[in-house]
Structure 1
């Protein structure tokens, strides 16, 4: 059983609030142009070159069944750990860190069917916020497909 986080990073996507455990968050950066990654699973939007490190950007809109939207300069990128893998999440807005009190954390959603990558929920005065576990975000098949796509030689983009 995963211990309850003491802090979560709250973010919005398509008008809904979500969270990530703070220890999984490496940094926040402004949205930037992505490079397509051929043969990557559909949940990968592309690659972000972050100071020379190529990181896969996961498509939360696709995963959470929100309508697609083009990349905007107003979007935020959350650089986070998904187990041993570093990934980037494109979100509409990162709201900031929230220190949790014991009565705000609820681990029950993790035990409900169909909520695969949910670590739990934060009960706030203005509603429930699902907190996601990035270690389970990619299926095993998606992780293998992503590894193969990252290992494949990349063709240069046309000028």
Structure 2
């Protein structure tokens, strides 16, 4: 989603984390799955919660709670994983609940929150009748150092069954 050229409606996947709503551009979302057991990934950056084996594909699960400064919570079978892409890399985001898709009309879109200091990873905000939803840009979610550290950890990952 290009925050500077939002003349047409965009579809966004809405999700909740700690009773707060967030969104991801639907073009970044591959699928939604129920939470499953994770494998610890040694040498991964702190933002990586673990490794998910999804039908034979190993996917790093990013810890949104840590990144957004929410309290840690054990994995629950009620959690969802949003399988998405951060540019070239597939990732899973653990969320409390996926709410569904929502078309964001051009008059509901505001790109200015992404320009504010301290609001990293944000492409903009959807001004919905029931509240403001920050829409995240996964391409900026991992710092360059974190991406390199994750590449190294994935290259040295243990064999999984």
TM-score band by shorter chain is over 0.9
Q: Which sections of structure 1, spanning at least 5 residues, go unmatched?
A: none
Q: Which one of 54, 73, 93 corresponds to residue 77 of structure 2? A: 73
In 2, the alpha carbon distance for the partners of 1:53 and 1:153 equals 13
C-alpha spacing 1:153/1:49, structure 2 compared with 1 (3 Å)? closer
State the TM-score, normalized to the length of structure 2. 0.94
Aligned Cα root-mean-square deviation (Å): 1.5
Aligned to 1:147: 151
Matched, 1:11 2:11: no
Give the number of equivalent residue pairs. Answer: 157
* Residues 12 and 25 in structure 2, CA contact (< 8 A), matched pair in contact too: yes
Aligned to 1:102: 106
1:108-136: CA deviations, max 9, x gaps? Answer: 00111111210000001111100000000
TM superposition shift of 1:155? 5.8
Q: How does 1:113-128 map to 2 (within 5 A)?
A: 113-128=117-132
Q: Which sections of structure 2, spanning at least 5 residues, go unmatched?
A: none
In 1, the alpha carbon distance for the partners of 2:157 and 2:65 equals 28
Runs of 4+ in 1 over 3 A off after TM superposition: none
Aligned to 1:92: 96
